[in-house]
A and B are shown apart, each in its own frame.
Chain A
Amino acid sequence: MNIRILRNIFQKNDDAASENRASFEEFGVTCFNLLGGAGSGKTTLLEGIIPILRKNLSIAVLEGDLATTRDAERIARLGVPVVQLLTDGGCHLNATLVQHALHEWPLEKFNLVIIENVGNPICPANFDLGEHFRIATLSVTEGDDKPLKYPLLFKDAAAVVFSKCDLLPFVSFDPEAARSEIKRLNPTARIFETMAAPSDRTQADAAHDTDEWDEPGPSTTGMRLLAEFIRSRCNHHATAE
């Protein structure tokens, strides 16, 4: 007997993702999913933008990792609530795991939920978590040939961040080549360039204490532009309701 099915293999995940999205909508929360390979600068990026964003937004962070609570500890130092999701060897977050974590939070207290996915350029991109948009990181040490190798990572991202750009003099990464590959996959993606320099984080720490940034230098420009982009997406989302 031949039985026609014609159904999405990830239906269960996508149903949970829809429920997560509905929860966010109910409380007027914007959510983005931060994806990228291991060591591509996801946590450093959060350390750069959270001190800027937290001035106007109430933020919560969900940290996905295979093991250890190191990233969650780094985020906790910024003074925002963080839940560590350990996948125990699993290579990606799925919408059900996120759903369990969301139950731990009074969502009505937040404007922005950030999900930092497990460091992996392939698997996480396959799973909708219920986010409103995605941000993908590509560090210049990974190489400018990566967009077409991991197309799904970049194809649906609202923004792509080239991280560690202060290392450009030491690596053979051509930002224009990477930019053009990303545009072929995803013509509407916004592209940002950030630095790895500790000055970013020093300023971030300073901002945490004083709520004021020091003189914005070139090393923080990328983070500030990215934070502005995220804020505009939050506003857009709030207005749309």
Chain B
Amino acid sequence: MHEFAVAEGIIRQACEAAVRAGATRVGRLHCRIGMLRQVDEFLLREAFIELSRGTLCDGGELAVRKCGMRGTCPHCGRTYRNLGLSSESDDIVGNWTCKTCHTALTGLVGGDELELLSIEAEVHDEHQNTAEHLSEK
């Protein structure tokens, strides 16, 4: 259930950036979340809808890019760019063994990303910005 904390962080960062830019409404929010974070996307969206009410992000849409780990098989050299823990990634890691030679994969990097990349925001709207109530929390 850390999805609520992730949603809260996304909304806070987005509202602050929107206010700085003089935007009046946030449309899409692009973020990158690593597989190791074990964030449930459905729960994240529910949390986002709940927590964004009354903020500049109200009605906004989360665009989540999940990313896995990267590495090379120590035995056969097969390269992996998006190893994940579930079928959402390009390569399912399963028991963390190489798909070609079944050697145990080790020294994998990445997969712990947790970033708000960018937001698409509108500048012409009559909504008042209500970012304060979140940033004060």
The docked-state distance in angstroms from the alpha carbon of A1 to that of B112 is 29
B123 at the interface (CB under 8 A from A): yes
Q: A5-B13, A187-B106 are in contact. Are A92 and B120 (CB under 8 A)?
A: no
Contact across chains for B23 and A1 when beta carbons are under 8 A apart: yes
Q: A91-B1, A123-B2, A151-B85 are in contact. Are A6 and B117 (CB under 8 A)?
A: yes
Q: Looking at the complex, which one of A4, A7, A13 makes contact with B5 (CB distance below 8 Å)?
A: A13
The docked-state distance in angstroms from the alpha carbon of A91 to that of B121 is 33
Name the residue on B nearest A4 (C-beta): B118
Contact across chains for B13 and A3 when beta carbons are under 8 A apart: no
Main secondary structure of the interface of B (DSSP, over half): mixed
Contact across chains for B37 and A126 when beta carbons are under 8 A apart: yes
Q: A148-B96, A151-B36 are in contact. Are A3 and B5 (CB under 8 A)?
A: no
Kindly supply a per-residue 1/0 record for chain B positions 16-47, scoring 1 wherever the CB is within 8 Å of any chain A CB and 0 otherwise: 01100101000000010000111000000000
Chain B residues with CB under 8 A of A2: 118-121
Q: A8-B114, A94-B5 are in contact. Are A3 and B36 (CB under 8 A)?
A: no
B66 at the interface (CB under 8 A from A): no
The docked-state distance in angstroms from the alpha carbon of A122 to that of B120 is 31
In the complex, which range does the number of interface residues on chain A fall in? 20 to 34
Contact across chains for A122 and B117 when beta carbons are under 8 A apart: no
Chain B residues with CB under 8 A of A1: 21, 23, 120-123
Kindly supply a per-residue 1/0 record for chain A positions 139-160, scoring 1 wherever the CB is within 8 Å of any chain B CB and 0 otherwise: 0000000001011100100000
The docked-state distance in angstroms from the alpha carbon of A44 to that of B14 is 43
The docked-state distance in angstroms from the alpha carbon of A126 to that of B104 is 25
B49 at the interface (CB under 8 A from A): no
Name the residue on B nearest A1 (C-beta): B121
A100 at the interface (CB under 8 A from B): no
Chain B residues with CB under 8 A of A4: 117-118
Contact across chains for B85 and A122 when beta carbons are under 8 A apart: no
Contact across chains for A10 and B118 when beta carbons are under 8 A apart: no
B58 at the interface (CB under 8 A from A): no
The docked-state distance in angstroms from the alpha carbon of A5 to that of B122 is 16
Contact across chains for B9 and A10 when beta carbons are under 8 A apart: yes
The docked-state distance in angstroms from the alpha carbon of A92 to that of B122 is 35
Contact across chains for A126 and B2 when beta carbons are under 8 A apart: yes
Within 8 A of B (CB), among A1-51: 1-13
Chain B residues with CB under 8 A of A155: 36, 112
Q: How far is the CB of B127 from chain A (nearest CB, A)?
A: 15
Q: How far is the CB of B55 from chain A (nearest CB, A)?
A: 15
The docked-state distance in angstroms from the alpha carbon of A92 to that of B5 is 10
The docked-state distance in angstroms from the alpha carbon of A94 to that of B6 is 12
Within 8 A of A (CB), among B54-96: 85, 93, 95-96
Contact across chains for B116 and A9 when beta carbons are under 8 A apart: yes
Q: How far is the CB of B71 from chain A (nearest CB, A)?
A: 11
Q: How far is the CB of B137 from chain A (nearest CB, A)?
A: 9
Chain B residues with CB under 8 A of A151: 36, 85
Q: Looking at the complex, which one of B106, B115, B120 makes contact with A9 (CB distance below 8 Å)?
A: B115
Contact across chains for B10 and A3 when beta carbons are under 8 A apart: no
Q: What are 7 sample pairs from A and B whose C-beta atoms fall under 8 A apart?
A: A2-B120, A5-B117, A6-B115, A126-B2, A126-B114, A155-B112, A184-B106
User: Shortest 4 CB-CB distances between A and B: which pairs?
Assistant: A9-B9, A123-B2, A91-B1, A184-B106
Give the B-binding residues of A (Cβ under 8 A).
1-13, 90-92, 94, 122-123, 126-127, 148, 150-152, 155, 180-181, 183-184, 187
